[in-house]
């Protein structure tokens, strides 16, 4: 499988994704799926940008991390987002730590709007596969 394995993860590597405009459709789909209470016209639910960021993270030049598991998340909402805003994300590898099966990679993600303002920011911790070893259960 193509992808970036644990051994190839470079600390401090920065990647910037393309941007996506958050629409009423995103909000309607999200609210329908989750049954979160709507917050009023034009308001984007706070977890939605986080969901979009994980998808944007795939749309970069480097092969994606070979993620075995999403382990943890530490996330801060900096400002409210409105329908019609356009966001992209920037990721930076903060650290990597080998484990028996794979290794832990901490990836700092920042969500940035069309004005260059930080909207949300936090750390994703992933368990990433090692290259030359089949992972056993």
Binding site for other proteins (CB under 8 A): 1, 20, 26, 29-30, 33-37, 45-48, 50-52, 54-59, 64, 67-77, 80, 122, 135-137
What is the separation of C-alpha 119 from the centre of its chain, rounded to a whole number of angstroms? Answer: 13
Smallest gap from Cβ 44 to other proteins, in A, equals 11
- Taking residue 111's Cβ as centre, other Cβ atoms within 10 Å add up to 25
Smallest gap from Cβ 117 to other proteins, in A, equals 15
| Contact between 118 and 112 (Cβ < 8 Å) | yes
Smallest gap from Cβ 62 to other proteins, in A, equals 15
- 31 vs 96, which CB is nearer to other proteins? 31
At residue 84's C-alpha, the angle toward residues 77 and 22, to 5°, is 60
- 110 vs 122, which CB is nearer to other proteins? 122
- Taking residue 134's Cβ as centre, other Cβ atoms within 10 Å add up to 7
């Amino acid at each position: 499988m193509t992808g970036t394995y644990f051994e190839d993860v470079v600390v401090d590597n920065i990647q910037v994704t393309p941007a996506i405009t958050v629409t009423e459709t995103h909000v309607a789909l999200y609210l329908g799926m989750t049954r979160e209470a709507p917050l009023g016209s034009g308001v984007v639910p706070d977890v939605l940008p986080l969901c979009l960021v994980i998808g944007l993270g795939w749309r970069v030049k480097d092969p994606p991390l070979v993620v075995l598991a999403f382990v943890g998340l530490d996330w801060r909402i900096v400002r409210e987002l409105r329908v019609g805003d356009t966001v992209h994300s920037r990721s930076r590898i903060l650290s990597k730590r080998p484990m028996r099966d794979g290794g832990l990679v901490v990836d700092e993600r920042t969500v940035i709007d069309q004005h260059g303002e930080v909207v949300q920011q936090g750390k994703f911790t992933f368990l990433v596969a090692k290259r030359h070893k089949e992972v056993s259960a």
